Structures are given as C-alpha cells and as structure tokens.
Structure 1
Amino acid sequence: MSRFSPLNWPVVRQLRGSDPFARDVNTQSKKSRELDGRLVEADRVVQSVCPYCAVGCSQRVYVKDNQVIQIEGDPDSPISRGRLCPKGAASEQLVNSATRLTKIKYRAPYATEWQELDTETAMDMIADRFVESRKNKWQDVDEQGRPLRRTMGVAGLGGATLDNEENYLIKKLFTATGAIQIENQARI
C-alpha cells in the first residue's frame, strides 16, 4: 500500500479493522508507534513533596544524569492520589529555571548593587539583627508596673509552604523570644 493511499488514513483503518471506536493501534501512525514515553529515559525516581503549600501532595521526581527531567503527582499518595495543582505541576520549571538564584544575595542599605554572601555570614547578620531588635523594643513592665516580658521589635509571619511541624516550631521559637506578633498566611 502506498504511503498516500486513502486506505492508509486512520479513519479508514479504524472502520475497516475491529476497532470502530478508535481505541486500538489501528488509528496509530507509524511515528506514534515508534515514540517512547518521556519518562523511559529516567535513571531513577525520587519521592518528594510539592514545595508550594501545606497540603503536602506527593511527587515523583524523575532524574536522568543527576538532572530533573520531569515531576509528576504520585498516584500512591493518599492526599493527592496522583494529581497536582497547576503550581505543583510546574515544579520542574522551578527546579530547572535558568533564572533560579542558588546563592545568597545581599544589598546593603543605599547600595545599588547586590553582593554574594556565604551562608555563615548571612546567618550571623540575621541573628545579630534579631537580637538587637528584640533588645531595643523589649517591654518588661507596663505603665502600672504589671509584667509584660515581651518585644514589639520582632514579628513572625508563617507561610503555607511550611508544614504543621515547621510552623509549630517557628511559633515556639518566636514565643520563647518574647514576640507576640505572630501570624500565619494560612489563617489570613
């Protein structure tokens, strides 16, 4: 049969064969039969959790040559049963984006350029500022001498990308340091 024969058209093959509803190979082209799935080339599959919200949808991360090639929902997950929201489905773009920052950037007050910092320096800067702000705004007692033991110089806003355990520990940390302005995105 020649390549351009009307007998080779998918609809004709469908009607001539034993598959009138086009659910079998009668309607596949040669090119379609030769295609492999995009996940066949993966070296391994890594279990993960979607980073976007506190729901905790499970993901399967397909890796080839230590590079993420695809991220899909995990059908074994009791939470999402293999489904991902649009953000979760775009997780691969987050991981492989050419514009993703992988180093700590800092812009000093009134500076026009960003500079790179190492992790230890950045953590020391954050800790120093936290302690100084707590100390400067500490309120030990109110006007009538009643004990307050709080700081108004530190506030916390938890995010929905953290799970319950992480938010719980952050709340405990802020409360232990005397902060009372603690909120969470999930409640707002």
Structure 2
Amino acid sequence: MGILDLMLRWPVLRQIARGDVKALGETAMTERSRTLEPRTARADRVVKSVCPYCAVGCGQDIYVKDERIIDIEGDPDSPISRGRLCPKGSATFQLVTGTHRVQHVLYRRPGGTEWERLPLEQAMDMVAERVKRTRDETWEDTDVNGFSVQRTLGLAHLGGATLDNEENYLLKKLFTALGIVQVENQARI
C-alpha cells in the first residue's frame, strides 16, 4: 500500500480528493461505520410499555434479546408521545439495567437503632404478611347497624402521580378485592 493510499484512508483527505466538502457521502464512512447497525436490530422481540416517570403515559418500545433488555426507545405508535421521550423517559434503560439500581432495602426493626440490609424479596414478603395480618385483624363483616360491609378500615392506599390509568385501575381492583375502601390518588395531571 502506497503513501497516497494510506493517506486517502483518512476521511478528511478523502473529502478533499472527491470534493465532498460537507462529508455527507461515502467519504465520511470508515470500515467500522459501514458495519454499524442499531442496537435494536438484533432484538428477539419488542415489548410495548409505558414510561414510569410521570402520569403523561408516553409509550415505550422495550427491545429484548435473550430475555434481557437491550434498549428502550419511544413508541412511534403511541398516540400520546408519537415516538418521543423526554430526557427522563430516554434514561429509562439506565433505570432498569444500571448497576446503581438498588437490590435491597434498609430496615430498622421496631425499637432498633441500626439499619440492616434486607433482600428486596424478603422485604416484599414482610409487607405482604403485614397487609394480610392487618386485614385479618381489622376485618368487618357488618357495620354497627348490622349491614353487610365486608371491609377493613385498617388499611388505606395513596397512589402517586407516576401511576397511569391502567395501573390505577389494577390497584383499585386489588384493594377493593382486599376490602380496602380508602383508596386515593395524588394526581398532578
């Protein structure tokens, strides 16, 4: 390979030699850039989802390969966001795959002075057990007038503004099935 051939491998010199001053054509390509493809091209499947950050409900396409998320992008079929995501929505991939993601909870036992780390699964089991115990201990078949109420007043739920309509629907169904009557949502939008 001569010196001229070597020099023409540099994109800037190729641009000058071929008169491609804006570098919009073949002169801007390298062997690496010729073989590039989107991360999404090798996905096994695409799962439709909704961004978890606010109540707008922007659509997301979740690209999955070997049961692992490889990319998250805006869903162009979404009538709400039409393929667009805000900076927080665009960062959802890091939210679900980042090494900084918390895999445990901090728990301080009643009367304790120190925090201890518990696995997330154990903490969820503890919450479920406490919900069941509270429901069982505060269950009312009838009210003071003898009317059938089938409820508990020992539990309540306050939802957040990041919940979309579908999530709120499912939460309402769950808590109604548990006999919980105090179900509210702190909605901003």
CA change 1:95–1:110 in 2 (3 A) is same
Write the letter of the residue equivalent to 2:188.
A
In the TM superposition, residue 114 of structure 1 has moved relative to its aligned partner by 3.9
CA change 1:119–1:18 in 2 (3 A) is same
Write the letter of the residue equivalent to 2:97.
N
> Aligned residues, how many?
169
Match runs of 1:128-139 below 5 Å: 128-129=133-134
Return 165-174 or 87-96, whichever deviates more.
165-174
| CA distance in 2: counterparts of 1:177 and 1:42, whole angstroms | 42
Find out whether 1:125 has 2:145 as its counterpart: no
Are the equivalent residues in 1 in contact too, given 2:104–2:118 (CA < 8 A)? no
Find out whether 1:79 has 2:80 as its counterpart: yes
The answer to which structure has the higher helix fraction is 2
Are the equivalent residues in 1 in contact too, given 2:156–2:180 (CA < 8 A)? no
TM-score by length of 2: 0.66
Find out whether 1:45 has 2:46 as its counterpart: yes
Are the equivalent residues in 2 in contact too, given 1:47–1:58 (CA < 8 A)? yes
Write the letter of the residue equivalent to 2:48.
Q
RMSD: 3.6
Write the letter of the residue equivalent to 1:128.
R
Write the letter of the residue equivalent to 1:65.
D
The residue that corresponds to 1:184 in the other structure is 186
| CA distance in 2: counterparts of 1:67 and 1:177, whole angstroms | 36
Write the letter of the residue equivalent to 1:31.
R
Q: Which runs of 5+ in 2 are unaligned?
A: 145-152
Give the secondary structure class of the aligned counterpart of 2:41: coil
Write the letter of the residue equivalent to 1:28.
M
Write the letter of the residue equivalent to 2:35.
E
The residue that corresponds to 2:35 in the other structure is 34
CA change 1:106–1:123 in 2 (3 A) is farther
Write the letter of the residue equivalent to 1:89.
S
In the TM superposition, residue 72 of structure 1 has moved relative to its aligned partner by 0.9
| CA distance in 1: counterparts of 2:90 and 2:12, whole angstroms | 34
| CA distance in 2: counterparts of 1:169 and 1:34, whole angstroms | 45
CA change 1:168–1:49 in 2 (3 A) is closer
In the TM superposition, residue 80 of structure 1 has moved relative to its aligned partner by 1.1
Are the equivalent residues in 1 in contact too, given 2:104–2:117 (CA < 8 A)? no
- Could you list the per-position Cα deviations for residues 11-70 of structure 1 after superposition, in whole angstroms to 9, with x for gaps in the alignment? 443354364432222222233223333223322222222122222211111112211111
TM-score by length of 1: 0.66
Sequence identity (%) = 46
Are the equivalent residues in 1 in contact too, given 2:61–2:74 (CA < 8 A)? yes
Q: Which runs of 5+ in 1 are unaligned?
A: 141-150
